[in-house]
Chain A
């Protein structure tokens, strides 16, 4: 057992990758550790050539993963788009692990990221002592990925300022990065590519400039399409989080999860689950991750203020926070949902009462 809290994907799933590599006799693009088809198997699960089982890393539409991998094979950059909690970073990590055997070349983009963190920085002691030279250069993950011919991951691309984003344009279209100070450049080795992730719901902080957008092929990862699958995901994650926060899990967690997920899915999908009534959707994303947060909030309220009893009383205030992001528009949406749908459901009476009081 390792002391590390979490190992990168290529180490956690080393045996699966090994098994796939063993039987992989198909055409590989230069610089790739696995063929595109074996990469699809690694992501979607299945069996390696030698019969070893491969677990599914992504549950959902296979075509999306195929498009993503085909994109990387055309040496176009890949942009994974989706609301928070749709496994964008997870997919990007596993793609890098399978294709380059290394998922650690990563830049977390934030509003504070500047060009030096994307291109290269300087070791100022060296710079002052010996003047500008390759030795004084501090390479970034992008720089190193170009030199090594591996995949570089850019997390939350749109959080970084537009001016900084635009430094990527040359790298993506010409596969080289000029180092003006040394009058030289770094040229990408075959196998180099970029996987970026971004959030398409709350517009991040910055729009992607259209020049940059054009250099990416975009794959949108959707929310889970199946109710039971989503309930299972939420129940599992809530259990794990409650454990790590030392919160006791009451018996009725599963029932309440089912209700919360049902309400979330109805509002998110714009229709009741029986398909009989169409609804308006609120401006928030109401992702699976938010359902998990609502449940964990409810659990902690139950543990600390409600003698461990999990009820609508503790969950409803958290739900309001998740649903009503825009005080006017979303409030009207919720009111309409409460009056048109929830009011008539006997088993949601508690939720109706609490939510009406709180709205």
Chain B
């Protein structure tokens, strides 16, 4: 016996549509609810109504042999599909997906039926529906846009729900879609999908006496009610690809529901959708403005209740001027800017992301099937021949071999995902070497941590890239960004690396904090210099680093003024590190010049903090840009009696910090200091004495002795003046044999 079929055309992620759908279901109370979604994931559908399942969540299907080929179907609370599933579970109705099996779309790209359009879509993951045609994806949005609405929910409300001649909403939509589709014949994948849905509906009708409700995108509504012979439909479904798939639920986030995140069928403002879904219709404007006010107040801006009243009045007048029955999203936004933000669109944009996008994160129950990340990990472990073991195991990796690089990449990616399976034995960077030493130890909780990363992607590579991307968005200063880029580089995540570099460029242009600019230089220089073991795009990085150095150099003279002791010490350390970076990379003389000039400016700038000026002079001296006699004159001037002792002391300290060793070996410098000291008379010398003591205090006894020896000419410290014995070559083997014996001999008493 045939039962009644109700085709309910909905708008994906449309709260207005969801509200009407629930009402319609309550009224029809069907025994079977069919939802547009992959049939082969139907058995997962009841889980959606599990109380532990908190939207936004996504249905994730992926090719069993290659999780990188994956498709997500996200659901929000206000998704009609989600509400339909919940309704069905609440009312004991059978619920099923009826769209083409996911296997069709997860088949390898060389599958015969995939034309170029489909191919392009398969490469882009996380499309819930494959409609390439924007009209087909969101026909209601297209109608709204044509009517001059930015927000299709407002249009839905104004035109469909506030229609002066109320009628059955779903019939009206079906009519509108029939008109839109008139003349267009469904072909290719779309025809197959609709054929499949028709067959599934026919099957459901045979099963039950009660009603059958079909929840599908509005676009498909007319096609599903068409009378087409089952044979014709079956003909369209020939040649189904053989592809084993796996499906599970993954937690989702509201930013990733947003259109801006690259999710093709997303909504412009998830936050606004949640608001409409959760708020009674009469209060939408008032509550939305109140939320805006609360956000502004949270940021410390003053918003009075009177302003809220004015904002609502303005929104209503605007709506009237535009001939709309009630203020929608746009009117509320413009009113909020004019009345609450005092016309300042910038202020609005500081709160709009929080309001419009939201930050909800979904949660999934514990009994969902195994996550693809774990499967991917097992596959990777097999491929790289690394076994998870619960005990510490050391592993030395040679990055020059392909297998070594693979292993290192996997470990680095896992580290990025917060799964510390391997720990790098040497702390700090793998400086200049192509070796890495890891200590491996697998802990059971790593599996849980790994699954938590599912929100970033279905494979380890994708998840690591996604997570670095998220961290990059949050990173607030250049140093953090540079470190993240370094991490992305060693984990072989080129897209994330590129994005990080672009972000550094942007941030570098915005900051004028010299210390921040210069602090970012050393990690970047390390990538450039030591990144060779991995593939990097050095040209871009080189340009960026040069730019950072130029910017830092220009800002340096101003940054070095009026610093206290601690700040000056910090800046000195940064300048030394940056100078190291300059020395580390290949820079032309022209590119190096601004840095040199900045250091010279520091040395000669009377306003520069003496400690920093001293450090700059020292760096110039080491680079050979300051001749020893010039250095002597400079020292003399900086330490001349006219200067306050504390300034002179600062300069001396900056210049000689850690330079005791240099004094031992550098005769010219020693000479210069010696000359200057001899010009001091007795009182002056005594005055400076504490300063000298402090500067040279980091020399150990041996070093002091050698310095004194050198000064008093007792021993020639320079190797250059020593002559080689004429028969050295002949007697060396004998010496060497004797030495080896001494060195390898065991103590006599053992």
Residues of A with Cβ closer than 8 Å to B?
A: 36-37, 40, 63, 66-67, 69-71, 73-74, 76, 79, 81, 210, 213-214, 216-220, 270-271, 277-280, 328-329, 332, 335-336, 339-340
Contacts and interface: CB of A to CB of B under 8 A. Distances in A.
B314 interface: yes
Contacts of A81: 342-343
Contact of A332 (B306, B339, B509, B558): B558
A279 B512 CA distance: 11
A279 B342 contact: no
A329 B559 CA distance: 12
Contacts of B455: none
Contact of B594 (A73, A280, A339): A339
Interface in B314-346: 314, 317-318, 321-322, 330, 334-335, 337-339, 341-345
Given A217-B339, A220-B345, A340-B551, A70 B509 contact: no
B509 A69 contact: no
B40 interface: no
B558 A336 contact: no
A71 B321 CA distance: 11
A217 B551 contact: no
Interface residues of B, number: 35
B310 A280 contact: no
Given A69-B321, A76-B314, A218-B342, A332 B505 contact: no
Nearest to B509: A278
A63 B331 CA distance: 10
Contacts of A217: 310, 314, 338-339, 343
Given A40-B321, A71-B317, A81-B343, 12 more contacts: A67-B337, A73-B317, A76-B314, A214-B304, A216-B342, A217-B339, A218-B341, A278-B510, A280-B512, A328-B558, A329-B512, A335-B554
Contact of B306 (A36, A214, A339): A214
Contacts of B178: none
A70 B307 CA distance: 16
B555 interface: yes
B328 to A, nearest CB: 13
B140 interface: no
Given A71-B314, A278-B505, A210 B302 contact: yes
Given A66-B322, A67-B314, A73-B317, A336 B554 contact: yes
A73 B335 CA distance: 13
A336 B551 contact: yes
Contact of A79 (B310, B343, B506): B343
B321 A332 contact: no
Interface in B521-567: 547, 550-551, 554-555, 558
Output the residue of B317, B344, B509, B547 with the most chain A CB within 10 A.
B317
B594 A219 contact: no
Contacts of A219: 338, 343
Nearest to A35: B321
Contacts, number: 87
Contacts of A71: 314, 317, 338
B242 interface: no
Contacts of A66: 318, 321-322, 334
A218 to B, nearest CB: 3
Contacts of A216: 342
B735 interface: no
B321 A218 contact: no
Contacts of A336: 550-551, 554
Output the residue of B337, B338, B547, B594 with the most chain A CB within 10 A.
B338
A66 B547 CA distance: 45
A329 B302 CA distance: 30
Interface of B: 302, 304, 306-307, 310, 313-314, 317-318, 321-322, 330, 334-335, 337-339, 341-345, 505-506, 508-510, 512, 547, 550-551, 554-555, 558, 594
B550 A340 contact: yes
Contacts of B307: 214
Contacts of B310: 74, 76, 217
Nearest to B506: A278
Contacts of B505: 277-278
7 contacts: A71-B314, A76-B313, A81-B342, A214-B306, A217-B343, A271-B509, A278-B505
Contact of B509 (A213, A218, A280, A328): A280
A352 to B, nearest CB: 15
Nearest to A63: B334
B554 A37 contact: no
Interface of B is mostly: helix
Contacts of A277: 505, 509
B318 A67 contact: yes
B338 A213 contact: no
Contacts of B342: 81, 213, 216, 218
A206 to B, nearest CB: 16
A258 B380 CA distance: 58
Nearest to B338: A217
A37 B322 CA distance: 8
A216 B341 CA distance: 11
B292 to A, nearest CB: 15
A2 B335 CA distance: 42
Nearest to B318: A70
B161 to A, nearest CB: 24
Contacts of B345: 220
A30 B338 CA distance: 23
A157 to B, nearest CB: 13
Contacts of A213: 342
B654 to A, nearest CB: 24
A69 B318 CA distance: 9
B554 to A, nearest CB: 5
Nearest to B307: A214
Contact of A220 (B330, B344, B558): B344
Nearest to B335: A67
A70 B343 contact: no
Contact of A74 (B313, B344, B509): B313
Contacts of B547: 340
Output the residue of B306, B322, B342 with the most chain A CB within 10 A.
B342
A36 B321 CA distance: 7
Contacts of A339: 550, 554, 594
Contacts of B338: 67, 71, 217-219
A215 B335 CA distance: 14
A70 B314 contact: yes
Nearest to A277: B509
A218 B550 contact: no
Contacts of A329: 512
Contacts of B318: 66-67, 70
Contacts of B304: 214
Contacts of A210: 302
A332 B554 contact: yes
A167 B555 CA distance: 47
A71 B313 CA distance: 9
Contacts of B550: 336, 339-340
A37 B345 CA distance: 24
B349 to A, nearest CB: 13
Output the residue of B302, B321, B510 with the most chain A CB within 10 A.
B321
A81 B341 CA distance: 12
5 pairs of A and B residues whose beta carbons are closest in the complex: A218-B343, A278-B509, A220-B343, A70-B317, A217-B338
Contacts of B344: 218, 220
A280 B321 contact: no
A280 B508 CA distance: 9
A335 B345 CA distance: 30
B685 to A, nearest CB: 40
Contact of B510 (A36, A76, A218, A280): A280
B228 to A, nearest CB: 47
A98 to B, nearest CB: 14
A292 B551 CA distance: 31
A107 to B, nearest CB: 21
A219 B318 CA distance: 14
Given A214-B304, A277-B505, A280-B512, A70 B554 contact: no
